[in-house]
Structure formats: C-alpha cells, structure tokens
Amino acid sequence: MTYEETAVSQTIDRLLSDRHDLDAAADGVLDNLDQFHIGGAGAVELLIPTLALAHGDVVLDVGSGFGGPARQIARRTGNHVMGIDITPSYVDAARDLTARAGLGDLVQFHAGDITDFPLDPAFDAALTMHVQMNVRDKTTWFRHIAERLTPGARLAVWEVCQPHRADLPWPMPWSLDGTDSFLVSADTLLACVKEAGFATVEWTNESTWVQDWITKTFANGLPAGPALPMLLDDGYTRVINYATALADGSLEIWRGCFTKNADQD
C-alpha cells in the first residue's frame, strides 16, 4: 500500500518547530504543506464556488489527507466540514494541523473507509480530490458517496485522468509502483460518476491551468519548506515524476461539479 507513512505528525512538528516565524493559524501559511493534490490551495478555490454552500450546510471531504482543503473551505465559508481518510496517520496529522490552525470547532476528521461511514445524518455537499486513482470500482465508490448526501447535494471533484495508454514514471504521489493505481480516461470517469447517481453540472479539463500553476509554483525550484514532499516517502521524486507526466500529456487534470439525483437513495 502506498500511504504507509507513520510519522507524519512528528515530521510536521519538527518542520514547524524549525520555523518559529510561522503562525499556523494564519490564512495560507500551511498551503505548501497540507494540500495533497496538484494545484494546491488554488485548486480548492476553484471548487468552493461550485459547492454552492448555504449557511449551515455541512460538507464531506472524502479522502481528506492532511486536511488542507477541509480547513480552507471552513475558513472561506464558515461551514462545518467532516473529512474521512483511510490512513490513520494522515488523520492524526489533519487533527493536529486543525488544532494548530484554531479550526477545531468547524473541522473534524474520521479515520476509516467511506463504505463504513454512517449514512445518517446526510451531508449537504461533498468533495474529493485526487482519490479515485486508487479505486478500482469507481462507480460503486461514487455510489457510496451519493448515499451519504441529501438529494440535490453538490459533489465537486479534482481528479487525475489518463487520456491514453502510456508508461508512467513511477513513483507517483498516489502510487509507488503502479500496482495500486487505477487510472481511467476522463470519459470513463465521467460515466462512472453519472452511473453512481449524479447529474453533470460541469466537467472541465484544467490541465492548462495546472501547467500554469506548476510554472509559477516551481519557478525558483522546489519549495524549501515546510512542504508536502517532506511528509512523503521519496516525496520529491514523486512530485517531479507527476509534473513530468502532466507536461508530456500522459496525464490530465479534470474538475467536475455534479448534483445528486433527486431519486437516488
């Protein structure tokens, strides 16, 4: 399994202790550390409006990682967010960073699989970012998400797709050797989401936006830190390989917005 880092919280504590000038509660300070997807905080900003959140809505973040998107949504909107992730050490790190950020009243995290998560109460919106690449049966997985949403609820996705068969330079952020990677084309992924009980609001190729983000973010080389690759085994190699595959067109990034069908239960 790829996500086997067990000392994430200790690494974060060391990285932040080395930077006494950082205020973890300040907006944007941890963006290079806690966003486990390409595009960082900027990608989350693209998703927030599509969630169409109203006052009091509660959001489900499926595959919440270190909790960056959940905290960002809570800061921007004031809505409560529940994150769920299968890796206990990531959940521990997310809780630690949330406490440091002073957002424990708005953001909580659960360690486990979406298939075992309670059906009640239902959530008003959901997002998932860079998760389905590790899921073989995507339709069933998205159906589990739908079952935990109210009818008409929005689902926002930010996902990696493979437009054509290509040999990828492993390791990648989501897989060390490709054995737990299940990439599909954008058309196939869209069909899986729709079959799971969602109607399409928007399905957009954001690969050009991502390339611009990579150019700006790494204009002066790899970030000195604290940064996400420092938390992952062989992290810098994985990030570089990912950027290379995006640059040569072997991979694409797609942003989607969907609504749960009213008759879906």
Per-domain residue ranges of the chain = 8-259
Q: What is the pLDDT of residue 256?
A: 98
Cα Rg of the chain (Å, integer):
17
Compute the average pLDDT of residues 229-255.
Answer: 89
* Closest of 211, 213, 202, 91 to residue 156, by C-alpha: 202
Amino acid present at 200: T
What CA–CA distance (Å, rounded) separates 103 from 137? 34
What CA–CA distance (Å, rounded) separates 181 from 186? 15
Q: What is the pLDDT of residue 229?
A: 67
CA angle, 161 as apex, 35 and 76 as ends, to 5°? 30
* Angle between helical axes of 235-247 and 207-217 (0-180°, round to 10): 130
**CA 175, 43, 70, 31 torsion: positive or negative?**
positive
Q: Give the contacts of 262 (CB within 8 A, at least 6 positions apart).
A: 151, 152
Say which residue, 251 or 220, is predicted with more confidence: 251
Tokens read off for 180: 């737990």
Chain mean pLDDT for the chain: 90
Q: What is the pLDDT of residue 181?
A: 97
What CA–CA distance (Å, rounded) separates 33 from 179? 26
CA angle, 38 as apex, 149 and 84 as ends, to 5°? 35
Q: Tell me the range of 19-23, 89-93, 106-110, 215-219 where mean pLDDT is highest.
A: 106-110
Look up the CATH number of domain 8-259: 3.40.50.150
What CA–CA distance (Å, rounded) separates 217 from 219? 6
What CA–CA distance (Å, rounded) separates 62 from 224? 29
Q: State yes or no: pLDDT of 66 exceeds 80.
A: yes
What CA–CA distance (Å, rounded) separates 262 from 69? 27
* Closest of 180, 175, 189, 201 to residue 252, by C-alpha: 189
Compute the average pLDDT of residues 216-235.
Answer: 74
Compute the average pLDDT of residues 243-263.
Answer: 95
Q: State yes or no: pLDDT of 73 exceeds 60.
A: yes
* Angle between helical axes of 207-217 and 40-51 (0-180°, round to 10): 140
Q: What is the pLDDT of residue 225?
A: 64
Residue with tokens 């960073």: 97
Residue with tokens 């994430």: 8
Compute the average pLDDT of residues 121-133.
Answer: 97
Compute the average pLDDT of residues 199-219.
Answer: 94
Contact 61, 69 (CB under 8 A): yes
Prediction pTM value: 0.92
Q: What is the pLDDT of residue 5?
A: 65
Contact 258, 199 (CB under 8 A): yes
pLDDT-based confidence at residue 153 (cuts at 50, 70, 90): very high
CA angle, 91 as apex, 38 and 21 as ends, to 5°? 70
| H or E, element range at 59 | strand 58-62
Q: What is the pLDDT of residue 236?
A: 85
Pairing verdict, β 80-85 and 58-62: parallel
Q: What is the pLDDT of residue 265?
A: 59
